[in-house]
């Protein structure tokens, strides 16, 4: 069984994440969307809200499981018996950053990282941009799944 972890903070989940998840779920038998917990980070949405956004968005998809974790992603992969980490790439800067993490993860474990390019119409969307639009009372509805539209 091919199992992958798609880790992130998902603060909030965006249509870019949605794109990677929808395409990634076709590649694996199970896709675990793993919300990382970082005590040093200030989030706009609570952990419970972020988890609910994702669960509501993918309630129709039995191959997707949503969980939270802390610590190294490779250790979490081992706990979940996942052989792959799924990551999305929007631009060359993402690639350089993610490549370094993938090489480090590969040094620490046997877990492979699989990269998917975000669809061209979604490559400009990031959670930080969405948070900025929300903070400034802008229309963010075209940037996130319906479950996030509060």
Q: What is the pLDDT of residues 1-54, one digit of tens each?
A: 999 999 999 999 999 999 999 999 999 999 999 999 987 889 999 999 999 999
**Among this protein's residues, is 103 annotated catalytic?**
no
pLDDT of residue 150: 73
Q: How confident is the model at residue 104 (pLDDT cuts 50, 70, 90)?
A: very high
Distances (CA, A) of 140 to 12, 34, 61, 137: 11, 24, 25, 8
Could you confirm whether 17 is annotated as catalytic?
A: yes
3-state secondary structure 10-37: CCCCCHHHHHHHHHHCCCCCEEEEEEEC
Q: Write down the catalytic residue from 50, 51, 87, 127.
A: 127
Distance CA 53, CA 45 (A): 10
State the pLDDT at residue 46: 95
Q: Would you say 117 and 86 are in contact if contact means Cβ atoms under 8 Å apart?
A: no
Over residues 106-131, the pLDDT tens digits come to 999 999 999 999 988 898 999 999 99
Distance CA 13, CA 132 (A): 14
**Active-site residue, 106 included:** no
For residue 79, the enclosing domain spans: 3-148
- With CA atoms as reference, report the closest residue to 117 among 98, 89, 86, 85: 89
Given the residues 3, 90, 99, 131, select the one marked as catalytic: 90
Catalytic pick among 17, 50, 51, 87: 17
Residue 90 designated active-site: yes
Give the CATH number of the domain where residue 136 resides. 3.40.50.620
**DSSP conformational letter for 122:** G
The per-residue pLDDT for range 60-92, each reduced to its tens digit, is 999 999 999 999 999 999 999 999 999 999 988
Count of structural domains, the chain:
1
Residue 93 has pLDDT above 80, yes or no: yes
Residue 16: the pLDDT is 96
């Amino acid at each position: 069984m091919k199992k992958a972890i798609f880790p992130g903070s998902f603060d909030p989940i965006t249509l870019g994440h949605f794109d990677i998840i929808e395409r990634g779920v076709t590649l694996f038998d199970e896709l675990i969307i793993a919300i990382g917990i970082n005590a040093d980070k200030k989030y706009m949405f609570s952990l419970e809200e972020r988890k609910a956004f994702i669960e509501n968005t993918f309630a129709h998809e039995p191959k997707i499981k949503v969980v939270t974790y802390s610590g190294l992603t490779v250790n979490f992969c081992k706990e979940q018996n996942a052989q792959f980490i799924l990551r999305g790439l929007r631009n060359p800067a993402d690639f350089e950053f993610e490549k370094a993490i993938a090489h480090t993860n590969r040094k620490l474990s046997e877990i492979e990282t699989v990269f998917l390019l975000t669809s061209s119409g979604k490559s400009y969307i990031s959670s930080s941009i969405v948070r900025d639009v929300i903070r400034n009372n802008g229309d963010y509805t075209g940037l996130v799944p319906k479950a996030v539209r509060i």
